[in-house]
Copies of this chain bind each other. A is one copy, B any other.
Amino acid sequence: MIPKNVTIQDVARVAGVSTATVSRTLSQPDVVNESTRKRVSEAVSVTGYRLNRAARNLRTQRAHSVLVLLPDLANPFFSEILKGISRVLSQSGYSMLIASTKQVHDSGERLFDYLDDARADGMIILDGGLDADVIAMLESARQTSRILFACEWVEGADFPTVRCENRQGAREAVNHLHSLGHRKIAHVTGPAGNVLMHARKDAFVAQMASLDLPLKPEWLITGDFSIAAGCAAAQTWIAMEDRPTAVFCASDQLALAFIAELSRHAFTVPDDVSVMGFDDIDFAEQFIPSLTSIRQDRLRIGETAAQMLMDRINAPTDTTEETTTVVPVSLVVRDSTAPPKH
The CA of A282 and the CA of B281, in the complex, are separated in Å by: 13
Contacts of A54 in B (CB 8 A): 54, 57-58, 61, 63, 118
Number of interface residues of A (CB under 8 A): 56
Chain B binder among A14-22, A33-41, A90-98, A153-161: A90-98
For A64-81 the 0/1 string (1 means CB < 8 A from B) is 010000001111101110
State which residues 242-262 of A face B: CB under 8 Å.
256-257, 259-260
* B103 contacts A86, C-beta separation under 8 Å: yes
Q: Which residue of B73, B96, B100, B113 contacts A97 across the interface (Cβ within 8 Å)?
A: B96
Q: Which residue of B86, B97, B256, B285 contacts A95 across the interface (Cβ within 8 Å)?
A: B97
* A73 contacts B86, C-beta separation under 8 Å: yes
The CA of A98 and the CA of B98, in the complex, are separated in Å by: 7
Asked if A209 CB lies within 8 Å of chain B CBs, one says: no
Chain B binder among A45-53, A130-138, A172-180, A215-223: A45-53
The CA of A104 and the CA of B145, in the complex, are separated in Å by: 28
Given contacts A52-B117, A53-B118, A54-B57, contact A98 B79 (CB under 8 A): no
Asked if A107 CB lies within 8 Å of chain B CBs, one says: yes
Asked if A55 CB lies within 8 Å of chain B CBs, one says: yes
**Nearest-CB residue, chain B, relative to A62:** B54
**Nearest-CB residue, chain B, relative to A288:** B263
State which residues 139-156 of A face B: CB under 8 Å.
142
Asked if A316 CB lies within 8 Å of chain B CBs, one says: no
Give the residue among A54, A86, A116, A286 with the most B Cβ atoms within 10 A: A54
For A265-305 the 0/1 string (1 means CB < 8 A from B) is 00000000000000000110111101000000000000000
Q: Which 10 A-B pairs have the closest CB atoms?
A: A76-B76, A54-B57, A73-B83, A54-B58, A50-B116, A54-B118, A74-B79, A90-B107, A74-B80, A74-B83
Chain A interface residues toward B at CB < 8 A: 2-3, 50-55, 57-58, 61, 63, 65, 72-76, 78-80, 82-83, 86-87, 90-91, 95-100, 103-104, 107, 109, 113, 116-119, 142, 227, 256-257, 259-260, 263, 282-283, 285-288, 290
* Extra contacts besides A50-B113, A95-B97, A287-B288 (10): CB < 8 Å: A3-B142, A51-B117, A54-B61, A74-B80, A76-B282, A86-B98, A86-B103, A90-B99, A90-B109, A97-B97
